[in-house]
Chain A
Amino acid sequence: MRKADFYLTYGVRLFLLLLVCGGMLIFWGYRVVARSPWVTEQNRFVEQPVPFSHIHHVQGLQMDCRFCHVEVERSRHAGFPAASICMKCHSQILTDAQVLKPLRRAYAQGKEVAWRRVNPLPDYVFFNHQAHIRRGVNCSVCHGAVETMPLMRKEHVLEMSWCVDCHTHPDRAFRNEPVHGSLIVPTAHNLKPASKDCYACHR
């Protein structure tokens, strides 16, 4: 074989191999980057207009989730606390704290505090809080150990594969999850696999 032929033959083969490998590398890299906390914002604290601390309210003061997220048991939304709910206590406690200024201003104007959403879902997902709570899925299954968070962060990324995992093997997902508050405790009875039909969430 002539030298030029050798280079041509193997050079082309090497190029094609690199092309395939490079392509795979790009896809793999994209996957890694797209699922990295840098993109998904997993475990990143989100600045809020009022630096609300779950660790203080839940672990310190032993408040139930449903005290503020009033609609979680009867609506598809969990509901964010209205200013009036915060003011139930904060009309008496920390009445002149600087950090609570946006809350007091909103309450005085009859408006609500614009909280920043930490666990957003796409519009094509019809997630229902009521359905999950009624079947004994604890808040912490999806939202993580909220009671240890000084500022709210996203513990799970809420990808579809993650939802489907839990729908298929609820027993695996529920194990060792801290149970707090007085919500229904998952039992063997209500841990049967849930619907995996597309229409359960997308319609």
Chain B
Amino acid sequence: MPPLESEREKHWKGLARLYREPTFSRRRFLQYVSSSAALALAAGCEWKPHENAVQYIPLSTERFFYATLSPFMGFGEGVLAEIFEDRPIKLEGHPGHEDSLGAMSVTTQAAILDLYHPKRHSFPSPKKGLLALMEKERQDLKATRGKGALFCFNPTTSPWTQHLAGLLKETYPECEILSFSPYPLFRFLSSTEAVFGKSLFPVFDLSLCKNPLSVEADLFSDVPGRLGHIRAFADRRVSKDHFLPLSCYESFPTLMGLRADRHLKALSEKDLRHKDLLIPGPTLPLSFQQTLWWENKRKRAQGLRFMDNPFGVLSPSHSPEEVLKKAAWKRVFNFDVSFPEGFSAAEVYRSRSESKEILFSCFPPTKSSALALIPLSHFLESWECLRSSTGKLHLAQPTVNPLFHTKDQNEWLYYLIHGRFPLDKDFFEFLKQKFSMNRPEIKTALKTGKEVDRFSLHSLSGLEAREPEEKSLSIEMKPPTLITRPDPYVGFGERSHNEWLMELPRPYTQLCWENAFVLGPQTARHLKMKQGDVLKVTGEDESVMELPVLIRPLVGEGSVLLHLGFGNFKGKGLDVSFDVPLKKWEKTGRFLKPAVVQEERADATKRFAKDFFLEELSNPPEDFQKERNRFDHQLKTLRDSSFLKDMEKNPLQWAMTIDLSRCVGCSSCMVACQSENNVPCVGKEQILKGRPMHWIRLDHYDFDTEETVSVQPVPCMHCEKAPCEEVCPVGATVHSAEGLNQMVYNRCVGTRFCENNCPYKVRRFNYLSYSAHFFKDSLKWGLNPEVSVRSRGVMEKCTYCVQRIEEGKRKDRLREIKTACQSACPAKAIEFGNKADRQSLVAKNRKDPRHYALLSELGTLPRTTYLARLRQKEVL
């Protein structure tokens, strides 16, 4: 390249000229353009070296399933682990398990990411001499008969762990066993003990009651049996007979509360009179819970039964501080028990266990003073048996050999007792002794995932109850109050390493990756704050927290809501109450934009998530009827046009319907899709730029007058006349003969015309190489091999899980094809199938009076359509 005129310049007009920025001339520009074109061309000419092909013979070349359990609050939810080439790649619901019913919860699905997570604790610390260290510990225990040793457990229903814990106490009689969980759920054991004389655990059944009232309760996300509750509720929201109205009284909007037809401002005797089931929330004060149990007993409430305390010797200790203060511990064995900020037990634990702790965990804490950190196996790698929410015992089996040669909690316990690790046959021997099962029975139980033992449940009429001395039907709260709840996804922070959960928008607040104070509009007005202003609150113990605020209409006046689990909570007193009184609150003047996926909320002129009252079911509102007719007319015109006639010849015409009456907005579909389709996480910065990656999203709409929220899942609509297809310059998005709007990644050049032309905004663009992290360490083992990993500069969107469609076609099982979101949905809201097949549920749903298409006025003729939500106008 000859030197440019400007480069040859030897004399200048002033020093400023000499030191100025180099000019960018037209000539230089053309040089850059041509050289980059030439380099791009050269980059395209790759000479692929020969690939080597090394044979690997898996157990089965077809994918198959292992029935196992996923632990939740010490209970087990049934899962089927999909095994491909000897490793689990996806979790599916177990239809034969009553806590799953074929569906999945958000946290369970995300657990597959934990298995392959690069941050997983894979090596013990110190790295060498683990067995020697543990052998020495065992000898010490033996010599002292366990004196000065503390074992910390999470409460669990597992008879295997309970048996081992009992054996531990027998072998080392002077040791102390502490069972601790920060979750408020276990307070049910204390409140029932006060009323019924023994500690019981409630079993709710929404299919039996007529007019339930939820008091700060969330049966849909933080109580065992949550998926069963969602299914029972959804089944009773679709038709006039057995319609279940729901009322709630709550200060923190929960998943269940969002579905309520009526929000009570206060509890009066009159309100209670009409209700036939009162559901206490675990965070309520004990006296309040006792009153509600007593009221239920008086009403002989259907839909509420109790089981005997399933935690046995590992029932949560009544006063963990007392146990912790008891002695000067020489050694503390902590089996993955977290002591989060805010609990007095945590403080005592930290001060007394310093440098004496042996911590067993799956994910190491960021900083730890532990003597040794020992990695634990994932639940997909270990033997276990756990009870379901009604006390049925199921077996869990390993689905893969431990990836990092780890052992699980029971194996370490066994080691400390017997001096060797248990073999499979030791577990079977225990089952044989405890439940008198023989080998073939165990084999069948493992194969089918069927129950092996059950509790008999107590109905309310069969229980003796004592009227509580002090009854209370209100929570004393003087504003300002900070109302805290464990985060629905990351809990108290145990799952905060999981990116799928962190990026998943929280129900109602739509916030991801971080925490915020949630305020009601009145409070915000009072404080003169807008969304994103940083609020500073001071607790009564002078602890200070600063976070940006989010404003949401359903939040009451005088309270600040905060999810725990992000490490923001600085305060005390959570073991007494989750409502923490505040000394003062003030605006700081700083601004931090919260990472909310849906900034704009309701549109005043139009309802996208349609709903009507039960009374209107036989005669839907006029505008709804008009839109419906227009859609049918458009469809008919299209069918008559010559072009589409060829297309309709194909006997497979895929379509999806989403029933908004059933949908509770639990976000299960979003994680299922992410897991099935190798959807990457993009991080907070990209979310703030409005670049989320989820192929299916949940839109929330608030109402002006009524205190309810509409939730609408929006995947790709697979329009018959897709606006995206018309604008693609390279034909990367085209229609298939089966009615799918196909996205061909290897044709896409990334113009983003399609994204701009899509009225539903369901297309997602890879602005950066988000999927690069998939190839890091162990994460690549968890990818779905049937789906491409998209690279930078490529558009992507929902494919109706085309890999499952192709598999179904290959195996001639067309009616069994289910998309990932459909199979995960606990409410059965999503239905997918062949609309040309008149027997299919989709074809029937498309004829339902509640059926409508989103934005039908545009004439795009979507294949994904909705059934409007039903509500009850007046609830007593």
B270 CB, min distance to chain A CBs, angstroms = 59
Q: In the complex, which residues of chain B have a beta carbon less than 8 angstroms from the beta carbon of A196?
A: 737
* Contact between chains at A126 and B786 (CB < 8 Å): yes
* Contact between chains at B810 and A202 (CB < 8 Å): no
* Contact between chains at B54 and A80 (CB < 8 Å): yes
- Chain B 798-837: CB-based contact to A (< 8 A → 1; otherwise 0): 0100110110001000000000000000000000000000
B268 CB within 8 Å of chain A: no
* Contact between chains at A200 and B806 (CB < 8 Å): yes
* Contact between chains at A74 and B61 (CB < 8 Å): yes
B53 CB within 8 Å of chain A: yes
A71 CB within 8 Å of chain B: yes
B50 CB within 8 Å of chain A: yes
In the assembled complex, the Cα of A131 lies from the Cα of B736 at a distance in Å of 19
* Contact between chains at B737 and A123 (CB < 8 Å): no
Which single member of B54, B55, B737, B746 contacts A202 (CB below 8 Å)?
B746
A35 CB within 8 Å of chain B: no
Question: Can you name 7 A-B residue pairings with CB atoms under 8 Å?
Answer: A70-B57, A74-B61, A115-B53, A116-B51, A126-B786, A202-B745, A202-B746
B463 CB within 8 Å of chain A: no
In the assembled complex, the Cα of A123 lies from the Cα of B805 at a distance in Å of 20
* Contact between chains at A116 and B799 (CB < 8 Å): no
A128 nearest CB neighbor, chain B only:
B810
In the assembled complex, the Cα of A67 lies from the Cα of B166 at a distance in Å of 55
B742 CB within 8 Å of chain A: yes
- Chain B 36-67: CB-based contact to A (< 8 A → 1; otherwise 0): 00000000000010111111110001100000
A81 CB within 8 Å of chain B: yes
Q: In the complex, which residues of chain A have a beta carbon less than 8 angstroms from the beta carbon of B359?
A: none
How many A-B pairs with Cβ below 8 Å?
Answer: 82
A10 CB within 8 Å of chain B: no
A110 CB within 8 Å of chain B: no
Interface residues of B in 502-535 (CB under 8 A from A): none
Interface residues of B in 736-763 (CB under 8 A from A): 736-738, 740, 742, 744-746
Q: In the complex, which residues of chain A have a beta carbon less than 8 angstroms from the beta carbon of B51?
A: 116-117, 120
Q: In the complex, which residues of chain B have a beta carbon less than 8 angstroms from the beta carbon of A82?
A: 55, 57
* Contact between chains at B810 and A130 (CB < 8 Å): yes
* Contact between chains at A114 and B52 (CB < 8 Å): yes
Interface size class of A (residues with CB under 8 A): 20 to 34
A195 CB within 8 Å of chain B: yes
B543 CB within 8 Å of chain A: no
* Contact between chains at B799 and A203 (CB < 8 Å): yes
* Contact between chains at A116 and B740 (CB < 8 Å): no
**With A79-B57, A128-B810 as contacts: A198 and B742 at CB distance below 8 Å:** yes
* Contact between chains at A199 and B788 (CB < 8 Å): no
* Contact between chains at B803 and A203 (CB < 8 Å): yes
In the assembled complex, the Cα of A130 lies from the Cα of B807 at a distance in Å of 11
A159 CB within 8 Å of chain B: no
Q: In the complex, which residues of chain A have a beta carbon less than 8 angstroms from the beta carbon of B787?
A: 203
* Contact between chains at B736 and A199 (CB < 8 Å): yes
A68 nearest CB neighbor, chain B only:
B55
In the assembled complex, the Cα of A116 lies from the Cα of B49 at a distance in Å of 10
In the assembled complex, the Cα of A117 lies from the Cα of B786 at a distance in Å of 21
Q: In the complex, which residues of chain B have a beta carbon less than 8 angstroms from the beta carbon of A200?
A: 806
B799 nearest CB neighbor, chain A only:
A203
In the assembled complex, the Cα of A46 lies from the Cα of B50 at a distance in Å of 9
* Contact between chains at B53 and A199 (CB < 8 Å): no
Q: In the complex, which residues of chain A have a beta carbon less than 8 angstroms from the beta carbon of B164?
A: none
Which 6 pairs across A and B sit closest by C-beta, in order of nearness? A75-B61, A197-B736, A117-B51, A114-B52, A80-B55, A124-B746
A19 CB, min distance to chain B CBs, angstroms = 16
B734 CB within 8 Å of chain A: yes
Which single member of B54, B734, B738, B802 contacts A115 (CB below 8 Å)?
B54
